[in-house]
Chain A
């Protein structure tokens, strides 16, 4: 059963996409960007707007050329059946792998922050089971969950403002002491995370008001940029040069909060916020992975494959990452390239091919060949 058009609203899409990107970015990016840019790390979320704008442009433009279709469906129309199916399958495997990596990042954080003795497998399985139940319920369920849970996810981050007396704005200076190159290197990871907004390609076909889709996606991307800026500045003003030494600077910031010696141990609030954010993120990525498989193989019912794919995500989350440093190493040095390749480079090539086809042949679709006739 394919979800019909009109299933979700633009606002729901924005509320889904926001945690889908920021949930792990909020936690891991400040330290990565601090390691490159030092005290200029606050510039990197601003620069991630480049990828945000590009991703928005690609997803919306491709959706306008092929209304009602996701990247899996129109890649077949742009480059042919066999190459299109290969691209679709590649997206499926990549999204499944990515879901596993995100689950692993989440589980490592929860284990190291609060549940020291809980086996990793328990944390992984519980969140992926929850995400699978949400995906099996359908995109409306995820959308409604996001409508309630995204505000719940956002509000605790304002608790960090309790740190205002401890913040030192002097940590901002000297600005651009080492020039732009470290900032540009540091902005690669935020750009890669922002390119995950390309997942809107799975939601734009389902909007009840598709003409507003671009606007709502832009709202979501802007919110993501501001959240990244807020987290970076806060962590910079609090920790200064120590930001790069912490594995989870935002966790350190939450641990620092002590109001009247009474409000302490607020990292529990952060972990609760994290569980909610990552539940939404994993649901959306698992939904994207399931949809890519269903559309590549042209299956009729997606619900059968959700639970088996969730089991595969558990496997992917363990595969090839023996420990946290190997995961962190991969996320810092390799992940930016793989994310940008799948969410910016491939869509860019698809858009160029579709535009070239439109210029030379007048129609963005492949020529009619009986079975492959254009609608």
Chain B
């Protein structure tokens, strides 16, 4: 867990919520849910050790792995 990343994402999320507070009140429920979900999921993701967590890059690695001999020198 990278403390700097967690701190930064927490501050960013808090700032975004403060910055958009007036607009959040005006939008319909579906968009409000999406906004909250995006911010909450981002905050939760910050707690992982992201550089060493398998992610989309690993998915593409495994997907296009068989094609790798085509591009090796």
Contacts and interface: CB of A to CB of B under 8 A. Distances in A.
B35 A308 contact: yes
Chain A contact residues, majority secondary structure: helix
B60 to A, nearest CB: 5
A198 B27 CA distance: 32
Contacts of A320: 50-51, 53-58
B19 to A, nearest CB: 7
Given A299-B31, A303-B23, A304-B23, A334 B46 contact: no
Nearest to A338: B60
A266 to B, nearest CB: 32
Given A308-B35, A308-B38, A338 B51 contact: no
Nearest to A189: B71
A215 B51 CA distance: 42
A337 B34 contact: no
Given A304-B35, A305-B34, A319 B56 contact: yes
A319 B50 contact: yes
Interface string A329-356: 0101110111000000000000000000
Contacts of A319: 50-51, 53, 55-57
A332 B67 CA distance: 13
Chain B contact residues, majority secondary structure: helix
Q: How large is the interface on B (under 10, 10 to 19, 20 to 34, 35 or more residues)?
A: 35 or more
A185 B71 contact: yes
A305 B24 CA distance: 11
Given A315-B45, A334-B61, A322 B35 contact: no
A315 B16 CA distance: 16
Nearest to A293: B34
Contact of A333 (B8, B27, B45, B71): B71
Given A300-B31, A321-B51, A333 B19 contact: no
A97 B56 contact: yes
Nearest to A318: B50
A202 B11 CA distance: 32
Contact of B42 (A297, A308, A318): A308
Contacts of B60: 330, 334, 337-338
B62 to A, nearest CB: 10
A311 B42 contact: yes
Nearest to A309: B38
Interface of B: 2, 4-5, 8-9, 12-13, 16, 19-20, 23-24, 27-28, 30-31, 34-35, 38-39, 42, 45-46, 50-58, 60-61, 63-64, 67-68, 70-73
